[in-house]
Structure 1
Amino acid sequence: MNDLKRGYINGKDVRLAYIDFGGSGENVILLHGLMSRASTWYETVLWMKGSYHVIGFDQRGHGRSEKPNDNYSRDVMIEDIAIAMNELGIYNSIAIGHSMGGSIAWGLAALHPHLVKALIIEDKSAQSPPMEAVEDWKKFFESWPIPFSCLKEARQFFGGLHPTYADHFIELLEENELGYYPIFSFEHLLKILSFSFENSRWDELEQIKCPTLIIKGGDSGFQREHAEKMLKIVKNCQLIEIPNAGHVVHDDQPELFRNAVENFLSAL
């Protein structure tokens, strides 16, 4: 990607890292999920930049963006991206968000409609999980044998969790003199999770006016009944379920994900 450019931009009270992946055409913004970063959209970017100008953000606490000790509410994270988009002059864009990023993307569409002309939500429910789920995440983080001595060890660990996780999680590690560590803080992620589990977001969906596509992984924990409820609430909305895909649909079934996105966008 010779035309790739990296930079920093102001969020609400942090500096956000972003990647301008290049391409020409309408603006597409990519919003990653929890633990992730903009660069994990690489395979999606390869085909999207042929028709669109693609920009990805590292959200606060993630990637190369600043990682404050506090202030990880969803509302603040929505404002981060809105401020950054306004400063970059990115309006009337196509917003694609995975998981946590999907929630941020529909928050942008609902609260800042001038920024989003079309919305794609990948495997994210508006129903808040029970607070006990935070403990499950904590146990998951505690299971990581960090520091990893080498990338091969990390690949074996994450690949053992799910076949497509190895490449995804390798992107989230950095090396120091002791080994490989995640580029994020578990403590910060648990704060994000605590905020996200406080309230469901059904009422907010009613404010979305732009064309919307919900993509559900056929094998993910995103319940079908929740997806269908979202479909009924959001005006001008479509729902597609991708078979043999878990939570990270764009990694598990990249061609089917691409087909769903391209078919939706071609009809706008």
Structure 2
Amino acid sequence: MTSYHVRRINGVRIAYAAAGDGFPVLLLHGWPQTAYAWRKVIPLLAQRFRVYAPDLRGFGASSKPDTGYDKKTVATDLAGLMDALGHRRFAVVGHDMGGQVAYPLAAMHPDRVEAMAFIESGLPGFGQERAMDVGSGGSWHFGFNMAGDISEALVRDREALFIGYMMRRDKVGIMGADRVTEADIEVYAAAMRQPGAARAMFSYYRTLFADAVDNRAFGSRKLTMPVLAVSADHGYVGGAERTMAQVADKVEEARIADCGHYVPEEQPEVLANLLSDFLARAGVETAI
């Protein structure tokens, strides 16, 4: 059974879901989602692992401070959360923006992160700049989300329209209309309507250039723990694999069929099986 909790970490409130028993696995959601994105995966992984799915700072029921949205700071929140929960070692799984947080978490704490999965994500400093360049076929939303106050003003009272469009767009959108329902979209829209939430969520994009500097510094030493790079056949095909090949020594690759960008919601059973098998090969269940 999934339970919900709050801890105060690094001066901010971090809300998280928890379920299961076994080796701890930290699930990091993407943008514009919350821990709700893992609702279908949590009970599957919880059959074998102790699973935690936090709302990252700025999202959902977690605090929305004015600063601290560079991914190194967000990763520090999560290391503190795992400390508070009594877990010295753990595995981390990051989807989309969550992957951009998982990487510095693993890079800063290689003695703690036993294994990492990087799902439908990229890294500033290691090729994501191409996805940010509209002139080269990249997505417009990077510039829009970085624009400042005008972003919040244009989205205000249109949160469901904006999030629904992002998740259902033709390029890298969901493949099946029933996989993310209107009710699901409303969960994310309601989270974005909270005071300070839109500003906080857009700040994840406004810190990407600072993240690039941090990532290049982290990348001077490759990750040595096992890494699983996952992409979807209708998502950023091959993007996760190309990114992890630059920053990690031991990379496995996986491609999920009949799936767009939002893998945890579109193919939860396939993803859960993939993660369980990967973590077993990584030997996390025997880690001290």
**Secondary structure, aligned partner of 1:120:** strand
Shift of 1:232: 5.1
* Equivalent of residue 113 in structure 2, options 107, 112, 116: 116
Distance 1:191 1:171, change over 3 A: same
Q: 1:69 to 1:90 in 2, by over 3 A?
A: same
- Please, what TM-score do these two structures have when normalized by structure 2? 0.76
Report the equivalent of 1:257: 271
The correspondence for 1:31, drawn from 28, 49, 55, is 28
1:234-249 equivalences under 5 Å are 234-249=248-263
| 1:195 is the counterpart of 2:207 | yes
Letter in 2 for 1:172: Y
User: Equivalent residues in 2 for 1:83-98 (5 A)?
Assistant: 83-98=80-95
Q: Could you tell me which residue of structure 2 aligns to residue 267 of structure 1?
A: 281
Range with bigger deviation, 79-88 or 244-253: 244-253
**Alignment root-mean-square deviation, CA:** 3.1
Q: Secondary structure at the match of 2:33?
A: coil
The answer on 1:74 being equivalent to 2:71 is yes
TM-fit CA distance, 1:241: 1.6
SS at match of 1:171: helix
Change (3 A) 1:184 1:40: farther
SS of alignment partner, residue 11 of structure 2: coil
The aligned runs of 1:125-136 (5 Å cut-off) are: 125-126=122-123, 127-129=127-129, 130=132, 133-136=141-144
Counterpart Cα distance in 2 of 1:266 and 1:244: 25
Q: Deviations over 1:20-53 (max 9, x none)?
A: 22x1111111111122222321100111111111
Identity of paired residues, percent?
A: 21
CA contact (8 A) 2:117 2:230 kept: yes
Q: What secondary structure is seen at the aligned counterpart in 1 of 2:272?
A: helix
Q: How many residues align?
A: 256
Q: 1:198 to 1:261 in 2, by over 3 A?
A: same
The runs of at least 4 aligned residues of structure 1 exceeding 6 Å deviation read 138-141, 153-159
Greater mean deviation of Cα atoms: 57-66 or 237-246: 237-246
- 190, 208, 219: which one aligns with 1:174: 190
TM-aligned CA deviation for residue 155 of structure 1: 10
Higher relative contact order (CA 8 A, sep 6+): 2
Q: Which runs of 5+ in 2 are unaligned?
A: 134-139, 283-288
Alpha-carbon shift at residue 246 of structure 1 (Å): 1.6
What is aligned with 2:102? 105
Taking a change above 3 Å as real, the CA distance of residues 183 and 160 of structure 1, as seen in their structure-2 partners, is farther
The one-character-per-residue Cα deviations of 1:62-98 (angstroms, maximum 9, x if unpaired) are 1111111223221211111111111211221121111
The 8 Å contact of residues 121 and 240 in structure 2, kept in 1 or not, is answered as: no
User: 1:171–1:107: structure 2 CA closer, same or farther, 3 Å change rule?
Assistant: same
Does 2:15 align with 1:17? yes
Report if aligned partners of 2:41, 2:269 keep a CA contact under 8 Å in 1.
Answer: no
Alpha-carbon distance between aligned partners in 1 of 2:50 and 2:5, rounded to the nearest angstrom: 16
Equivalence for 2:285: none
Q: 1:93 to 1:245 in 2, by over 3 A?
A: same
2:237 equivalent to 1:186: no
Offset at 1:187?
Answer: 1.9
d(CA) in 1 for partners of 2:252, 2:33: 26
Q: 1:159 to 1:225 in 2, by over 3 A?
A: closer
Question: Unaligned stretches of 5+ in structure 1?
Answer: none
Determine if the alignment matches structure 1 residue 146 to structure 2 residue 168: no
Contact 2:159–2:193 at 8 Å: present in 1 too? yes
